[in-house]
Structure 1
């Protein structure tokens, strides 16, 4: 009788020794749904996996609770959310982007006399990942790590205007049947104007007496991977660029960070 190679035997022993059935079930569901852009019903998942309905149901409920899987408003269809995509792309790309962006943001802040911050999409919101302060005594800033709304901020509007089709579809699924979906639909003419202009300049939707300037950082396909926003403050000492000059400076930073 032929003997198994030692390495093969050891690998199989390790596979058996470190089995985690619950984890395996969860990963099986994620892998199954990754091949189904339209999602699957629970019955279809049970049939495809060859497992009992109750164990699949429990695992689906945990995946929904942790936001790896979304359930349709009717409750009968499950699909992957963007969370796995976000986890896969969050740290190394964001770190590289921040490392590239910070020197340019600091130079912008010094030349314009204004602060600025860098925002990336995260699920149904946006995340502030970098901030540059102007050299003077006065500035308006937002803390790194802050989550901000997509529908009620300048950065959020630019992200919405320039998101790729898959991200738009995932967001529509996330917001389906909610007030956010209605607000997003009403906002479309405004977003189209931002697409045409390539930026947003307008009153802050969060603070009075601040003009937000937001420009997208684009992928080679022309979709937003991040947004730069300058909360422009009109100071009385005149030691700053005017708002048009500031827009030009911010666009220059975004162009250098965009992927060609």
Structure 2
């Protein structure tokens, strides 16, 4: 079946299929030699050896002692664990986000780190026709979003600067921060009061408030936010909105194993 599939695919796709074929067999064996592995995946020994050396360099495969057998490292487990963490986070957060949606009738987002950006991993839309147009999987800058500020606020300043070192601070609106030096004092304020705002920094007429979600290590793994068109935002209720977000984020954090939510 594997060889029939490979015969009909472009070289780049064929290489990916070969890699996953090798990984699948490695996952079934504690350790295996090149000869047996090549027979199992129906490839030449030289091809299998070449792929194994690349995977070894990347840290996904190790060579067992002096017997020339190969085995998987824990790196794939680590990668899979990160994916499972997001699955658990989304499942847990969904309950709280739906309750917030009922209370506020506004758009709710859950966002996480994606390299030097945020990525929306869950969303519940407002029932209003005038609402924030975003989608799950979309990336946005860390420096100009409420979720991004929350994700950065509990990191050391050096980490923040490293993450944003190659980021071009694009000016989306007149309110957008223009440099990491402008951002650092804002992050200190976010950490002190426990929430962040995007005051029309990404889009004119749109305001967002976000709070942190902590995992069992006490690390901020996500930001939970509410977004409003400015015409529907009631500033006199801001403390109430923040309290609702904190209440939801506290429950999510507790279910992720963090009992000492600070707000």
> Would the alpha carbon gap of residues 85 and 226 (structure 1) be closer, same or farther in structure 2, given more than 3 Å must change?
farther
1:243 aligns with 2:238: yes
Contact (CA 8 Å) 1:131, 1:141: kept in 2 or not?
Answer: no
- Equivalence for 1:106: 98
Aligned length: 197
Q: Distance in 2 between matches of 1:117 and 1:22?
A: 44
Contact (CA 8 Å) 1:164, 1:224: kept in 2 or not?
Answer: no
1:160 aligns with 2:182: no
Q: Distance in 1 between matches of 2:81 and 2:200?
A: 29
Structure 1, unaligned runs of 5 or more: 1-7, 33-82
- Equivalence for 2:225: 229
* Structural mapping, 1:1-260, within 5 Å: 11-12=32-33, 13-15=35-37, 17=39, 20-31=48-59, 87-163=79-155, 168=159, 172=162, 175-176=164-165, 183-234=179-230, 242-258=237-253, 259=256, 260=258
Q: Distance in 2 between matches of 1:208 and 1:134?
A: 18
Contact (CA 8 Å) 1:120, 1:127: kept in 2 or not?
Answer: yes
- Equivalence for 1:43: none
CA RMSD of aligned residues (A): 3.6
Contact (CA 8 Å) 1:162, 1:216: kept in 2 or not?
Answer: no
| Per-residue deviation, 1:111 | 0.5
Q: Distance in 2 between matches of 1:31 and 1:165?
A: 30
Structure 2, unaligned runs of 5 or more: 1-28, 61-74, 170-177, 259-263
- Equivalence for 1:46: none
- Equivalence for 2:68: none
Q: Distance in 1 between matches of 2:188 and 2:132?
A: 28
Contact (CA 8 Å) 2:98, 2:124: kept in 1 or not?
Answer: yes
> Would the alpha carbon gap of residues 242 and 178 (structure 1) be closer, same or farther in structure 2, given more than 3 Å must change?
closer
Q: Deviations over 1:98-147 (max 9, x none)?
A: 11111211110110221111101111211111111234444324211101
Q: Distance in 2 between matches of 1:98 and 1:156?
A: 18
> Would the alpha carbon gap of residues 28 and 145 (structure 1) be closer, same or farther in structure 2, given more than 3 Å must change?
same
| Per-residue deviation, 1:193 | 1.1
Q: Distance in 2 between matches of 1:150 and 1:242?
A: 26
> Would the alpha carbon gap of residues 16 and 196 (structure 1) be closer, same or farther in structure 2, given more than 3 Å must change?
same
Report the TM-score when normalising by structure 1.
0.63
> Would the alpha carbon gap of residues 25 and 176 (structure 1) be closer, same or farther in structure 2, given more than 3 Å must change?
farther
